[in-house]
Amino acid sequence: MDTLKINIDGVLYDALPNETIMSLADRVGIGDRIPRLCFDPALPPYTSCYVCVVEQEGVGKLLPACSTAVAPNMVLHTQSQRVESARKTALELLMSNHPADCVAPCSRGCPAGVDVQRYLAQARNGEYLDAVRTIRERNPLPVVCGRVCVRKCEDVCRRKYLDDAVGINMVKRTASDWWIDHPYDESTPTSTGKRIAIVGGGPAGLTAAYFLRMKGHEVTIYEAQQKLGGMLRWGIPDYRLPQDILDFEINEIIRLGVEVHTGVWVGKDIPFEEIRSKYDAVYLSLGAQLGSEAHIKGEEHPGVMTGVEFLDSVKKGHDLNIAGRRVVVVGGGNTAIDASRTALRLGAEHVTILYRRTRKEMPANPEEIVAAEEEGVRIEFLIAPLEVQAVGETLTGLICEKMQLGEPDASGRRRPVPVPNSNHMVTCDIVIGAIGQKVDLSGLTGESNPLTVTRWNTVKADELSSVTSIPGVFSGGDCVTGPAVVIDAIGAGRKAALSIDQYVTVGQPHAVVEPFSARRENFGEIRKAELPPAAAYKRHHLPSIDVNERLSTFEEVELSLEDHETVEEAGRCLSCGCSAAPSCELRALCERYGLSSTVSGQTVFQPVDRAHPFITIDPNKCILCTKCVRTCGDILGVSALGLVNRGFDTVISPALGKTLMETSCVSCGNCVDACPTGALSFKGLARTDPAQKSVTSLCTLCGAMCSMEVATNQFGVSFRTAKGADGKRTHLCGLGRFGYEVLQSGERLKTPMIRRHGALVQCSWDEALKAAAEGMQRVREQNGGKSILVSGGAYLSCEEASVVAQLGRTALGARVGSLAAVADDGDVYSLDEVYGATGSTVSYDDLEAASLILVVGDDPMERNPVTAARIRRAVRNGAKVISIMPKASSLRWLASVRVENHPGAESLVLGWLVRKIIERRPGDVGRELAVVRDALSDCTENRLAQEAGVAEGHLEAAFDALMKAQGSVVAMYAIDSPHGRSPDSTILLAQLLELLRPADQRSGLLLTQNAANLMGLKTAGMLPEDKEEYVAFAEAIRRGSIRAAWLVRESPSANPMLSQALARLDFLVVQSTVMTEIASRADVVLPATTHLETGGTFVRCDGTIMRVDPALPNPAAMTTTDAIEKVLQLLQVDMEAGHAAMAQRLAKCDLRLAVKGQFRWLLPRPGVDRSSRTDSEAAAHPYIRSKIPVRV
């Protein structure tokens, strides 16, 4: 083949003629240099996103790499400044019209970045320990935070637009309290040998210690006080955070192997230089321990103290002689509240808080303020102290002035200004000034310690990397920011740990930034209407101990929610975060191109379509790449989605303002697979959480057995992606995508049941299996084995079918088979005499290589949209389609010849074609063909017109197309068509193909089935061996000579004949996943395993053997197979022989080879099957509309 030399980024590559720049780049392994959003390898290039642009020397325009073909002597740049700038602008433009959230606002609002949405989901499932683990990924102090956190997450919670914010912290508290009683051991990695000193054992230091330990570093904490905890211990009163609880949480960190030196003041007790020289890195997390002076005259009086001093003294047990005294607290923060409530508990006569602004501006938690007032604290607003009044040692009062609010200051709060001539006296005995805290850096600065300090006397450190002016010394928390709250310190500690880890391992500190996140709030006000529907619970309130009781004790005031309340509270979460965030291609590119999340420009919030049971369309996240539209229309031929409007207002939507549910959508979910963002997403709790396990699996719900990847997490199936064995994206239908959900809907059977006094009651497995075995034996003894029916459904694996067969044949001597085969008239034997076996002679892959596809008897789109998609692909590659069907099927646009016949009359059409082909043969056709021809002599145009309703012209066209066929011809026939089959259709099709010889090797018959593993059941020996046995089996059921039945995942209720035949049984055992109609009539009900839980062997309807691992655990104690094997043991059957036989059969099984060996001409007897169903009748058939699997 000719090649072209193309220069890309200075390197010459050989390009193939007509390939695009992108395909060349992908082929030579530099595809990652060209980002892409609208390109879908399964579809022709579309060229809309323009992030794949590259620059060609000498060409003014940028070239979209996805659609520009290579040309001789091209010199291309994929990463030039111009290219990168254009790509970045494209992304900025896309994001400027993306009014949506990547990450929920709660997580973004949390300084530690805790994945709130996830732990709420875990708590809602009652998985408290998982919730704690989630929190501790970011915050190692959940118990502390569960009590004292200021809850920035709740401030930004979207639920408040509906009613009140989710009580996030209440949930955290319940979960973390549970953890106190159920601590788990954490393992740390092997030591890196790096040593890190942490100066200050408060929340920042403890957090840094935890994360550094989890990285395998050796950590030593130096704490000036006698105990760890910092302000958690000395600044927060016990009634909010009991000591023992704090001790527990600190210990959970220390016991990971953190070395602790308490009572050591670095810089006083041990020189800072020494620490610096002994360790690979130092983290300064000193906190802000000193109370600020109030700058009021006379504040040096011993009756005046700072809030920090006061709380610290109380904690340390000093007697401050508060009882009976009048206390004034100055300030409006949490320390002021803590001090005042503590003073009350120490017996103060009364406590007054003076605050210079109003309640609205108070920085303390509103709940704390309310609690303080409940307890009797008076708060006076707009008052500022001026001077302490004292008579000698005795403080008499505080001269104050009134304030009023003026213009807003730098903090955005309105500045208080004095009201002239408003001085007055507030009498009191003790003044506590809680107006702020300062950092004590003594011993850490100086010549040998060039630690740069800010003008507020805090450590100067970089916000993202935590580095200070001294290499190897990091700092964070209050000593850098000034007094802040616990969760800020935790966030700082984690950031520092990550940066220090990089510093000691690779030598470079690391700026810790959260990944790019789009933010809905950047696009204007959030309206109620745009929020998802949510559980109707109101916000719960934490219970607390009685007010009177509180004042006499330092016992914890607030209590936990009850379990059910916690679950309800967690259930109030709206799951704002985007479920696609972890895999979003748009977000990844925004991250790669360093976009900031700020936007400019107008946008309009579009309503979200949530009407579909499985799929949500959120146009606000759409980038109009139309991969969904093209997948739906061009690949599946459904066209449920399209583009609406023009210009900036263009959106992807179903036409005419409909919801997806109101369209022709077949619920296959391939649009969601195609979506590069979260505009299309799967619904459900399981999907809000990242997948933890991914299993290459198989949809075993119909005979096409599409391969897929099943991702699971602790909530169950998180998503299913259509993925071929080569890892490339393929397609699934609704059955594969959502069949599991449908099968799971309703209550799963997990415990066996047995009939007692007319009612089914739960019992043990042993009891149930014994009753089942004995019941069957009894019937066998009374009526003989042939009065017993052992039958398994088509979803069973070969292994399951094999034990069913052993139970029936070996153990009970029963009639063994599948009701599906009875309902479907046994076409599964129809070619035994022709080929020596019945099965497909070509594979699914041959379908796409065919040049002529003959579709007989059923609509592939209806049965299996994926197969229909493959036909469509074949047509795109130039194949012709002849359809012979009882109605205008979805292939009508594709078929070049359409024969529309009455239901059940296909064989007349086929007979006519076969006769015609033989007649046209030149010369002597031989005796065999002559006999066949003569047998078909009554397949005349006349008869066809009358009985099949087929006009002549169409037949001629079909005949011509067959005669002209070049290349391979594949005939598809649905052997379990819901429309019914006409006699001898398979034989006639086989003869037709035989007559068209010599054809391509890949020509042949593809027998499709909806009854999933029908071929496998046959292979496993569960079906009757041959037509004769099958007829006897079917007859026995029809005659009603069955006295007992053991049904494994069978549902005869939908078929009146079967239902009637099984109406009066002496004994019935049903193995089922859910309580079906037949199960409700059983004497013994055994839980069964289902799709995705059952591993094993399956035989695809083209004869391919497929093996699959279970993706999900079995919810019951025993699997289907376990239960039957146990019964076989009880019946003393040696299973070895049966297993060996089955293995042998599977090993030998290659249906395609088996049926290709020979051909025997039979005499076909085409006719019209009068029982065939019209469309509406067929709709009632259990296998129609492949969307709905039968729950068995």
- The piece of 417-425, 646-654, 729-737, 914-922 that touches another protein (CB under 8 A) is 646-654
How far apart are alpha carbons 439 and 458 in whole angstroms?
A: 6
> What does the per-residue mask of binding to another protein show for 48-77, with x meaning CB under 8 A?
xxxx-x------xxx-x--xxx--------
Phi and psi at residue 1052, to the nearest 5°? -75, -10
Supply the minimum distance, in Å, between the C-beta of residue 59 and another protein: 9
Sequence letter at residue 369: I
Nearer to another protein, 516 or 1183 (CB): 516
Question: Residue from 10, 302, 317, 647 that binds another protein (CB under 8 A)?
Answer: 647
Phi and psi at residue 937, to the nearest 5°? -65, -20
Neighbours of 761 (CB within 10 A): 10
Supply the minimum distance, in Å, between the C-beta of residue 607 and another protein: 18
Supply the minimum distance, in Å, between the C-beta of residue 1031 and another protein: 53
Supply the minimum distance, in Å, between the C-beta of residue 108 and another protein: 25
Nearer to another protein, 62 or 1048 (CB): 62
> What does the per-residue mask of binding to another protein show for 14-53, with x meaning CB under 8 A?
-------------------------------x-xxxxx-x
How far apart are alpha carbons 1030 and 182 in whole angstroms?
A: 59
Question: Residue from 482, 642, 724, 1182 that binds another protein (CB under 8 A)?
Answer: 642
How far apart are alpha carbons 32 and 48 in whole angstroms?
A: 19
Is-contact 75 86, C-beta < 8 A? no
Joined tokens for residue 845: 């892959």
Q: How far is CA 79 from CA 10, 29, 85, 456, 484, in A?
A: 11, 15, 9, 46, 44
Nearer to another protein, 459 or 641 (CB): 641
Sequence letter at residue 635: I
Nearer to another protein, 61 or 295 (CB): 61
> What does the per-residue mask of binding to another protein show for 578-607, with x meaning CB under 8 A?
----------------------xxx-----
Restricting to residues 607-626, name those near another protein by CB under 8 A.
Answer: 623-624
- Residues facing residue 972 across a β-bridge: 855, 1006
Is-contact 403 373, C-beta < 8 A? no
How far apart are alpha carbons 528 and 1081 in whole angstroms?
A: 49
DSSP string for 36-66: -SS--TTS-----S--SEEEETT-SS-EETT
Crossing angle of helices 486-506 and 203-214, in 10° steps, is: 40
Count of chain residues binding another protein (CB under 8 A): 35
Joined tokens for residue 595: 């976009």
Instruction: State the DSSP H helix or E strand holding residue 153, giving kind and residue range, or none if neither.
Output: helix 152-155
- The piece of 261-269, 641-649, 669-677, 830-838 that touches another protein (CB under 8 A) is 641-649
Supply the minimum distance, in Å, between the C-beta of residue 36 and another protein: 12
Supply the minimum distance, in Å, between the C-beta of residue 39 and another protein: 12
DSSP string for 195-222: EEEEE--SHHHHHHHHHHHHTT-EEEEE
Nearer to another protein, 91 or 322 (CB): 91
Question: Residue from 28, 43, 86, 1054 that binds another protein (CB under 8 A)?
Answer: 86
How far apart are alpha carbons 895 and 891 in whole angstroms?
A: 6
Supply the minimum distance, in Å, between the C-beta of residue 579 and another protein: 24
Nearer to another protein, 62 or 512 (CB): 62
Is position 89 an interface residue for another protein (rule: CB under 8 A)?
yes
Provide the CB-side half-sphere exposure for 457 (13 A, CA). Answer: 14
User: Which of 160, 147, 143, 144 lies closest to 109 in space, CA to CA?
Assistant: 160
Q: In what order do the strands lie in the sheet with 1004-1008?
A: 897-900, 880-885, 852-856, 969-974, 1004-1008
Supply the minimum distance, in Å, between the C-beta of residue 540 and another protein: 44
Nearer to another protein, 622 or 742 (CB): 622
User: Which of 972, 968, 1025 lies closest to 999 in space, CA to CA?
Assistant: 968
- The piece of 194-202, 243-251, 645-653, 913-921 that touches another protein (CB under 8 A) is 645-653
Restricting to residues 1012-1031, name those near another protein by CB under 8 A.
Answer: none
Supply the minimum distance, in Å, between the C-beta of residue 1082 and another protein: 56
How far apart are alpha carbons 974 and 753 in whole angstroms?
A: 38
- The piece of 88-96, 576-584, 658-666, 805-813 that touches another protein (CB under 8 A) is 88-96
Sequence letter at residue 502: Q
279 three-state secondary structure: coil
Supply the minimum distance, in Å, between the C-beta of residue 648 and another protein: 4
Q: How far is CA 347 from CA 319, 344, 550, 727, in A?
A: 12, 5, 12, 72
Supply the minimum distance, in Å, between the C-beta of residue 38 and another protein: 9
Strand 651-653, strand 642-644: pairing:
antiparallel
Is position 522 an interface residue for another protein (rule: CB under 8 A)?
no
Rg (CA), the chain: 38
Nearer to another protein, 18 or 421 (CB): 18
Nearer to another protein, 221 or 628 (CB): 628
- The piece of 386-394, 640-648, 728-736, 874-882 that touches another protein (CB under 8 A) is 640-648
Q: Residue 1054 gets which letter from DSSP?
A: G
Phi and psi at residue 473, to the nearest 5°? -105, 125
Restricting to residues 96-125, name those near another protein by CB under 8 A.
Answer: 96-97
Supply the minimum distance, in Å, between the C-beta of residue 53 and another protein: 6
Nearer to another protein, 93 or 1141 (CB): 93
Restricting to residues 389-448, name those near another protein by CB under 8 A.
Answer: none
Q: How many residues does the chain have?
A: 1192
- The piece of 84-92, 379-387, 674-682, 749-757 that touches another protein (CB under 8 A) is 84-92
1044 three-state secondary structure: strand
Supply the minimum distance, in Å, between the C-beta of residue 606 and another protein: 13
- The piece of 302-310, 647-655, 782-790, 1114-1122 that touches another protein (CB under 8 A) is 647-655
The residues, any chain, with a CB within 8 Å of residue 726's CB and separated by 6 or more, are: none
Restricting to residues 441-470, name those near another protein by CB under 8 A.
Answer: none
Supply the minimum distance, in Å, between the C-beta of residue 94 and another protein: 6
Supply the minimum distance, in Å, between the C-beta of residue 362 and another protein: 38
Instruction: State the DSSP H helix or E strand holding residue 20, giving kind and residue range, or none if neither.
Output: none
Question: Phi/psi class of residue 881: alpha, beta or left (left: φ > 0; alpha: ψ in -120 to 50)?
Answer: beta
Question: Residue from 404, 650, 745, 1001 that binds another protein (CB under 8 A)?
Answer: 650
Nearer to another protein, 187 or 645 (CB): 645
Is position 699 an interface residue for another protein (rule: CB under 8 A)?
no
Is-contact 1162 834, C-beta < 8 A? yes
Instruction: State the DSSP H helix or E strand holding residue 1190, giving kind and residue range, or none if neither.
Output: none
Is position 878 an interface residue for another protein (rule: CB under 8 A)?
no
Residue 186, exposed/middle/buried by CB under 10 A (0-12, 13-18, 19+)?
middle
Is position 762 an interface residue for another protein (rule: CB under 8 A)?
no
Supply the minimum distance, in Å, between the C-beta of residue 90 and another protein: 5
Nearer to another protein, 645 or 1176 (CB): 645
Question: Residue from 562, 648, 888, 934 that binds another protein (CB under 8 A)?
Answer: 648
Q: Which positions lie near another protein, rule CB under 8 A?
A: 45, 47-51, 53, 60-62, 64, 67-69, 85-86, 89-90, 93-94, 96-97, 600-602, 623-624, 642-643, 645-650
